[in-house]
Amino acid sequence: MLTVWNPRTLNMTSFVKLQHTLTIFFTSTASDLEFALTNVYAPANHRDSLGFLEDLAEVASHIPACWALAGNFNLTRGADENINGNVHQHLADAFNDSIHSLGLIDLPLLDRLFTWSNHQSTPTLARLDRVLLNTPMAAAFPNSSLTSLPKPTSDHTPILLSLSTSIPKPNVFCFENGWLKHHDFLPTILPAWQEANGRNAAVVLVGSLKAVRGASKF
CATH number for the domain spanning 147: value is 3.60.10.10
pLDDT reported for residue 157: 94
Burial code of 54-78, b = ≥16 C-beta within 10 A, e = fewer? ebbeebbeebeebbbbbbbbbbbbe
What pTM was estimated for this model as a whole? 0.74
How many domains are there within the chain? 2
Asked if 103 and 199 sit in the same domain, the reply is: no
Asked if 140 and 210 sit in the same domain, the reply is: no
Say if 172 falls within a structural domain. Answer: no
As a whole number of angstroms, the distance between CA 127 and CA 114 comes to: 4
Asked if 116 and 199 sit in the same domain, the reply is: no
Say if 126 falls within a structural domain. Answer: yes
DSSP three-state, residue 52:
helix
Asked if 24 and 62 sit in the same domain, the reply is: yes
- Could you say which of 162, 185, 208 is where a domain stops? 162
Say if 169 falls within a structural domain. Answer: no
25 in Cβ contact with 41 (< 8 Å): no
Say if 139 falls within a structural domain. Answer: yes
pLDDT reported for residue 164: 84
Distance of CA 15 to the CA centre of its chain: 25
Sheet of 104-106: strand order equals 10-17, 21-28, 34-41, 66-72, 129-134, 104-106
Asked if 187 and 138 sit in the same domain, the reply is: no
Asked if 52 and 157 sit in the same domain, the reply is: yes
Asked if 181 and 158 sit in the same domain, the reply is: no
- Could you say which of 162, 190, 206 is where a domain stops? 162
Task: Tell me the CB-side half-sphere exposure of residue 77, using CA atoms within 13 A.
Answer: 15
Asked if 102 and 37 sit in the same domain, the reply is: yes
Asked if 155 and 182 sit in the same domain, the reply is: no
Asked if 137 and 79 sit in the same domain, the reply is: yes
Q: Which residues 6+ apart lie within 8 Å of 198 measured at CB?
A: 204, 206, 207
The total of other beta-carbon atoms located within 10 Å of residue 34's CB is 14
| Strand runs labelled E in the chain | 10-17, 21-28, 34-41, 66-72, 104-106, 116-117, 125-126, 129-134, 145-148, 159-162
As a whole number of angstroms, the distance between CA 198 and CA 203 comes to: 5
Full residue range of the structural domain in which residue 90 is found: 10-162
Say if 130 falls within a structural domain. Answer: yes
pLDDT reported for residue 87: 84
Burial code of 115-129, b = ≥16 C-beta within 10 A, e = fewer? bbbeeeeeeebbbbb
pLDDT reported for residue 194: 80
Say if 171 falls within a structural domain. Answer: no
pLDDT reported for residue 218: 59
Decide: residue 41, CB within 10 A, 0-12 exposed, 13-18 middle, 19+ buried: middle
Asked if 154 and 183 sit in the same domain, the reply is: no
Say if 3 falls within a structural domain. Answer: no
Say if 149 falls within a structural domain. Answer: yes
Asked if 136 and 197 sit in the same domain, the reply is: no
Q: Give pLDDT tens digits along the chain (218 positions).
A: 899 999 999 999 999 999 999 999 999 998 899 999 999 999 999 999 999 999 999 999 999 899 999 999 999 999 999 988 678 899 999 999 999 999 999 999 999 999 999 888 888 899 999 999 999 999 999 989 999 999 888 899 999 999 988 755 566 666 677 777 777 777 877 887 787 776 667 667 777 777 777 777 65
* Angle at alpha carbon of residue 79, lines to 75 and 83, rounded to 5°: 90
